[in-house]
Structure 1
Amino acid sequence: MNIREKIEKNEKLILNPFATYSINTKGRKILEKEDDFRTCYMIDRDRIIHSKSFRRLKVKSQVYIKTLNDHYRTRLTHTLEVCQVARTIGKAIGLNEDLIEAIALGHDIGHGPFAHTGEEVLNELLPNGFMHNSNSVRVLTKIENDGKGLNLTTEVLNGILYHSGFGLDRNNPTTLEGQVVKYSDKIAYVNHDIDDSIRAGLLKEKDLPMDIIKILGENHNKRINNLIIDCVNKTLENISENISKVELSLEIEEALSNLRRFMFKKIYKGNILKLERDKAKFILRHIYEYFYNKPEQLPDFYKNIVLKEGLHQGVADYISGMSDEYCLRVFNDIYVPKCSTYII
């Protein structure tokens, strides 16, 4: 018995019966020889971490675009916070942490530049729309590894595809591990975006709705802790009743939803950040227009996508993979005149 087989055997002894056992995976699109040391989900986690798309998350905005403050969240630090929350919940319930980690680390890998503004612009410009969760799966299956994809397991791809949405049962991941990541994403971003907004001077703790704060907690740490505890307790209650579903209690779910709505009105869609969002939209639309009209200027990899899947898809794949900084450099190269020094 090798190390992987021992891990798989231990999973059946340790994990909750409702957990996803590595040995029961539905597998990969392309069959591979099993690893002697790592389970299938451990391999998926490692492939995501070592991908170029994952590394680019460090220079993609979470909410605050092109800030000089080192302490604001980026798409990468958001991903790590989601992973931490999800693993804490998963361990307490007795779920497969390797599967949770793989889903969490890959869930936002398809986000474009400039926070959700990139997603909004591409959704407007593409005939079939654009959603970052679907694009995350596309990046991991068709863009990474020189177009061959990472050949991830069905469960990881399913969790990534259905991580988005708030309280939409019809789009729930099929595994409890995926459902944990879905809730952890909301728990993490609503709270850390409040933290960043306070740091930016755009919010104060006293601005948060008092009725919500009384339920969720008076500060960042207490809110995170209370949400995690409630998610664990409610899910274990469901499991005890033979219900395979991750969720929050009704009161906590409603409070979190209301806090999220507050953040959308005050910060995400508020007038405070509108100027920066409009600048980002201007840049993205002009870059899209340029490459749509001049596809010969695309890198060769994306020219091949244009030939196989059409012009819109090739341009969208190129732009969605850009970091904020790279997007600005491309815009400047295209539209901003260069200053030259001439010796006469």
Structure 2
Amino acid sequence: MNIREEIEQREAMFLSPQAALSLNSKGRERQEEADAVRTCFMLDRDRVVHSKSFRRLKHKTQVFIAPPGDHYRSRLTHTLEVAQIARTIGTGLNLNLDLIEAMALAHDVGHTPFAHAGEQVLNELLPGGFRHNENSIRVLTRIEQHKDRNGLNLTREVLDGVLHHSGYGEGEARAFTLEGQVIRLSDKIAYVQHDIDDSIRAGVLRVEEIPGQFLEVLGTTHSQRIATLVIDTIANTRNMIEKGVIKVEPSPEIESALKGLREFMFENIYRGPVCKAERVRAAFIIEHLFEYYCKHPAKMSPLYAQIAEEEGLQTAVADYISGMSDAYCVSQFQDLYVPQSLVPDARKDLPTGS
């Protein structure tokens, strides 16, 4: 028996009956030989961490575009906060933490530069629309490369969790694993709370402006609200499972407060004057880049030229732009559209001291 098989046996012995076991995975699109040490979900996590799309998250906007200061969240720090919250909930429910971590680290690799501003622009430009959760699946199955083949060939459990992490409406489809449902909720817990923190730091929100009825339920500080949501979710989900209701969910009062706080943030911050002004500028850049690359597809890297031939030019351009970091997107725009002198600097040829 090798190490992976020992880990799979431990999962079967000690994890919750509702947990997704590595041994029972629905598998990958392309069958692979099993690793001697890592389970299938551990492999998925490692492939995501080592991917270029994951590394680019450190230079992608979470809420505010290129804010001054070192302490604002990026898309990468958001991803890590989601992973931390989800692992805590998963531990409390005795679920598969390797699967949770793989989903958490992968869930936002399809996000555009300039946060939801970039997503909205591409959604308007593409005939079929653009949604970042679906694009994350595209990145993981088509754009990233593994062993010279398209996609990272992740398990169906991870891909399903990534696909269903977005949205928070009634009646929406849920991930088929409880681990995937943990990611969906943890995403909301993370971004609502840390976006409040960043908004206060940016001076566009004061604690006094947050509706008191939500703070009374969840807590007045960042850590109190996260603790309330995590502890309540664990307790309420355990209670529901004992009654035969297999889903991850906070209690009604706590969930109502979270949704109310989320809607408050949408109305006052995400759709507020600061983000709106940033969105106009971001849209201008992305629209012009989209038009340029549609006219000059040869300027994209070979992978996207291949996609253009196989799936259409607009799809390839959207893939190319959505993968850009904020800084690279701006630099491309500057190189293409901002006038620059092409006259050589004659001073470089002068003797020292001239």
Q: In which range does the TM-score fall when normalised by the shorter chain?
A: over 0.9
2-structure distance, mates of 1:191, 1:91: 21
Report the AA paired with residue 19 of structure 1.
Answer: A
- 5 Å-filtered alignment, 1:197-216, equals 197-216=199-218
2-structure distance, mates of 1:166, 1:97: 23
In structure 2, the residue matched to 1:338 is 340
In structure 2, the residue matched to 1:107 is 107
1-structure distance, mates of 2:171, 2:228: 23
Q: What does the per-residue CA deviation read over 1:231-284, in whole Å, with 9 as the maximum and x for residues that have no partner?
A: 101110111112210011111111111101100111000112222111001000
1-structure distance, mates of 2:38, 2:342: 55
In structure 2, the residue matched to 1:31 is 31
Q: Is the 8 A contact 1:165 1:171 kept in 2?
A: no
| Bigger Cα displacement from structure 2, 287-296 vs 307-316 | 287-296
- 5 Å-filtered alignment, 1:27-176, equals 27-145=27-145, 148-176=150-178
2-structure distance, mates of 1:72, 1:23: 40
In structure 2, the residue matched to 1:267 is 269
Return the TM-score normalized by structure 1: 0.98
Report the AA paired with residue 127 of structure 1.
Answer: P
Return the offset for 1:147.
5.7
2-structure distance, mates of 1:273, 1:246: 32
- 5 Å-filtered alignment, 1:195-344, equals 195-342=197-344, 343=346
Return the offset for 1:294.
2.0
Number of equivalent positions: 344
Return the offset for 1:75.
0.2
Alpha carbons of 1:75 and 1:243: their partners in 2 closer, same or farther (altered >3 Å)? Answer: same
Report the AA paired with residue 221 of structure 1.
Answer: S
2-structure distance, mates of 1:98, 1:209: 37
Residue 150 of structure 2 aligns to a residue whose secondary structure is coil
Report the AA paired with residue 113 of structure 1.
Answer: P
Return the offset for 1:341.
4.2
Q: What does the per-residue CA deviation read over 1:13-72, in whole Å, with 9 as the maximum and x for residues that have no partner?
A: 211100101100000011100011110000000000000000000000000101221100
Return the offset for 1:193.
0.1
2-structure distance, mates of 1:156, 1:329: 34
2-structure distance, mates of 1:132, 1:273: 18
| Bigger Cα displacement from structure 2, 272-281 vs 128-137 | 272-281
Q: Is the 8 A contact 1:205 1:219 kept in 2?
A: no
In structure 1, the residue matched to 2:352 is none
Alpha carbons of 1:167 and 1:90: their partners in 2 closer, same or farther (altered >3 Å)? Answer: farther
1-structure distance, mates of 2:212, 2:196: 14
| Bigger Cα displacement from structure 2, 192-201 vs 146-155 | 146-155
Return the offset for 1:295.
1.8
2-structure distance, mates of 1:271, 1:65: 13
2-structure distance, mates of 1:326, 1:166: 31
Q: Is the 8 A contact 1:53 1:109 kept in 2?
A: yes
1-structure distance, mates of 2:241, 2:325: 41
1-structure distance, mates of 2:14, 2:2: 18
In structure 1, the residue matched to 2:19 is 19
Q: Is the 8 A contact 1:113 1:324 kept in 2?
A: yes
| Bigger Cα displacement from structure 2, 162-171 vs 188-197 | 162-171
Q: What does the per-residue CA deviation read over 1:167-218, in whole Å, with 9 as the maximum and x for residues that have no partner?
A: 4443210000000000000000000000000111111111110011100101
Return the TM-score normalized by structure 2: 0.95
Higher alpha-carbon Rg: 2
Report the AA paired with residue 229 of structure 1.
Answer: I
1-structure distance, mates of 2:157, 2:208: 42
Unaligned runs of 5+ in 2: 348-354
Report the AA paired with residue 262 of structure 1.
Answer: F
Query: Once superposed, what is the RMSD of the aligned Cα atoms?
Result: 1.2
Return the offset for 1:299.
1.9
